[in-house]
Structure 1
């Protein structure tokens, strides 16, 4: 068995690295069974405890899972693999990417002149002008802004928060369905995911309580513009969630408010609820430009110290050229007017598709943000059927853990006049799928 799969090594670290390499190069595919501990130990000439330690490390990194009597198998989405979006076939209308409409974004204006830096910016990593703008941005929506810092985008920030707070094998409560890059990131950090069901008002309180009782040490959620379902917190849901979270004061609650400016939903946040451990992350990529890899973080003082301490040891700071660019955009009245218009445009487009689908008897979700989530019986049949009609949408599998099948449609560039045509094609696709799979 070891020779068949190329598993080698004499220590736990060498064996786990060998298995991970075989997963990365495709020799061991998702679902493939690894040899029982004692059998592999005998073949490699090591103790059973050495192999058991290797398997434990692989489980902690999300590379394998243990199925009781089913043994140890390669995880369905191994953390060592990347899942880049598939290339959009030529001639198809792209409604799959989750990206903003370029026509709704401002033209970027980096600083015209940049003086040489005498040393580094580690001692003063944040530009005062941008720090003031970030504090005002959070304070506008009642997010406490006493402790604010920066990062290189939302996932960079969340990754640093989780790795400074948790240890390999710890559990994180995540939305299901949820942001696909986060669902890839958590196991890549060696952490376990505990799925929390989501409805139109956000994560469900009873599901969150179940995850917290199950050992989750952190929660990552979106207060509005949630991807892929478009959920947004209501005041009532916020209060219900705070009631649950107050029973677990040691848990870190991370809000990803990446769609803050163009979600089309009011700011309703857990961050203002008096939690002892909390953080809210905001980015500008959706409303100012996808190449602006910058995030603002507001959080409690302990979380700030841990985040900035780790950042000081790695990248050190966010480019001051990038910071100056973002500061100029955040404080430009003309840009503010453009962004406000973009938010109205996205809301109109999203609501047009939800309405068009509803008129044809198709239920969907899209209360905020750039996407509409449509439950279906067979994701592949719908994706392929719409592809044959010129539309490229996203299958829901990459956004789901235990939630039912669905597809995600990005409406950022779908004009209201086009919504009816897309909905008709959707109905026709469903009809064909039922005819094929019904007998």
Structure 2
């Protein structure tokens, strides 16, 4: 424990509050190890059970995580700390954010006039026009659209689904490597993550079966444009996963199809395969604009009732001004052509970087979506080395649980010529790393 912050307290709640205060004020940073239970108990003059109870409470609220022999450490994105992405240093090319190219995003056009509303929209939370457009959006890819609803974005929806379905301590199967914000969210809800390995076709069936047999109560996965690897379900993989899930009909399956319109891959969704408990979530952030905090959800009737019941008691509904804006964009043919152009450009840019890296003997994956994943031995060496050459990429630690190291490169705005330059710099950095650390 660093000298600048000492944990205090004589009760479990007092000790937990002291740790939480240290995290929120910055005295205990992400990744900082907490003292072993017995040692802290001796220092504070309390029983080991009191400290263990405090640590359990902190784990359930996403403040700390347990890493086996690595002990208990502060979470990378603790739920009590206000952490924002680091600012990109001036002069660097930002390839770390996972964002789309603004050139392929339409202007948001809210309705020109919005009349005053008496009371609230709780009685009619969804605009009929947007509901029909949403049904058509799902039906286009074979997703059952009898029951649809709206949320304020994919993570908002997933958080609500998990919190209504599960209880603290329950297990959720997640992709490994996977979406870093989801990996932060699950422990923040007091849930346990069970990693499921991913290959080029997404979740691996036997790894999923193992997770389900361990008592997992929900699965969150990505059918295409998987973040960070770009994996996508083929028809064969989808059918294999459905066969596995059929052995566990009570498990809730949540698909995050956030790249639906720009992934560059066909839709072979689990939702289209007749599961008993399921939800298929699509956000508009990646193809219509990151400020359009709206998502469409198709799901079974039980899941719909639980989601909407919880939403009714909290935010109530998605702003009708936002809904009108989304409806106008979804129905606009010019916007559809712009989005289609973006999908084609993203595919070409992913391929250009993968090909350029391969020319230097560097393996990378990224068959769909906005990113390319490059396995490496030393993330810090690669990230820092590329930074000295003018590139800002994301270290893979935030995206993985048990899988090997890597870096994520967002290719959405990376032109073909710059991809070649980046690949050359990447090879140079790896050469420097090998010279430093040996082959």
TM-score band w.r.t. shorter chain: over 0.9
Give the structure 2 partner of residue 202 of structure 1. Answer: 202
Q: TM-score, normalised on structure 1? A: 0.94
How do 1:217-236 and structure 2 match up within 5 A?
217-236=217-236
How far residue 42 of structure 1 moved from its aligned partner, in angstroms, is: 9.1
Give the structure 2 partner of residue 5 of structure 1. Answer: 6
Give the structure 2 partner of residue 371 of structure 1. Answer: 371
Is the deviation greater in 323-332 or in 424-433?
424-433
Would you say the 8 A contact 2:62–2:188 is kept in 1?
A: yes
Change (3 A) 1:360 1:48: closer
Would you say the 8 A contact 1:8–1:44 is kept in 2?
A: no
CA–CA separation in structure 1 for the residues paired with 2:388 and 2:337: 39
Change (3 A) 1:348 1:71: closer
In structure 2, runs of 5+ residues without a counterpart are none
Change (3 A) 1:267 1:81: same
Is the deviation greater in 418-427 or in 93-102?
418-427
Give the structure 2 partner of residue 61 of structure 1. Answer: 61
Give the structure 2 partner of residue 258 of structure 1. Answer: 258
How far residue 15 of structure 1 moved from its aligned partner, in angstroms, is: 3.5
How do 1:150-169 and structure 2 match up within 5 A?
150-169=150-169
Change (3 A) 1:327 1:362: same
Give the structure 1 partner of residue 174 of structure 2. Answer: 174
How far residue 430 of structure 1 moved from its aligned partner, in angstroms, is: 1.0
Q: Secondary structure at the match of 2:219?
A: strand
Change (3 A) 1:368 1:133: same
Matched, 1:339 2:329: no
How do 1:11-410 and structure 2 match up within 5 A?
12-29=12-29, 30-34=31-35, 36=37, 40=41, 43=44, 50-65=50-65, 72-75=72-75, 78-410=78-410
Equivalenced residue count is 437
How far residue 77 of structure 1 moved from its aligned partner, in angstroms, is: 5.4
Change (3 A) 1:69 1:279: closer
Change (3 A) 1:377 1:55: closer
Change (3 A) 1:241 1:69: closer
Change (3 A) 1:384 1:130: same
Would you say the 8 A contact 1:80–1:188 is kept in 2?
A: no
Change (3 A) 1:128 1:28: same
Q: TM-score, normalised on structure 2? A: 0.94
Change (3 A) 1:65 1:374: closer
Q: Secondary structure at the match of 2:255?
A: strand
Q: Secondary structure at the match of 1:287?
A: helix
CA–CA separation in structure 2 for the residues paired with 1:373 and 1:52: 38
Give the structure 1 partner of residue 431 of structure 2. Answer: 431
How far residue 16 of structure 1 moved from its aligned partner, in angstroms, is: 2.4
Would you say the 8 A contact 2:143–2:272 is kept in 1?
A: yes
Q: Can you list the C-alpha shifts for 1:111-162, whole angstroms capped at 9, x where unaligned?
A: 0000001111010000000000000000110001011000000100000001
Give the structure 2 partner of residue 421 of structure 1. Answer: 421
Change (3 A) 1:48 1:382: closer
Change (3 A) 1:304 1:41: farther
Would you say the 8 A contact 1:59–1:169 is kept in 2?
A: no
Change (3 A) 1:42 1:156: same
How far residue 72 of structure 1 moved from its aligned partner, in angstroms, is: 5.0
How far residue 423 of structure 1 moved from its aligned partner, in angstroms, is: 1.1
Is the deviation greater in 57-66 or in 416-425?
57-66
Q: Secondary structure at the match of 2:286?
A: coil
How far residue 25 of structure 1 moved from its aligned partner, in angstroms, is: 2.6
Change (3 A) 1:129 1:67: closer
How far residue 31 of structure 1 moved from its aligned partner, in angstroms, is: 4.4
CA–CA separation in structure 2 for the residues paired with 1:400 and 1:75: 13
Would you say the 8 A contact 2:374–2:408 is kept in 1?
A: yes
Would you say the 8 A contact 1:36–1:71 is kept in 2?
A: no
In structure 1, runs of 5+ residues without a counterpart are none
Change (3 A) 1:197 1:48: closer
Change (3 A) 1:253 1:70: closer
How far residue 369 of structure 1 moved from its aligned partner, in angstroms, is: 0.3
CA–CA separation in structure 1 for the residues paired with 2:73 and 2:240: 38
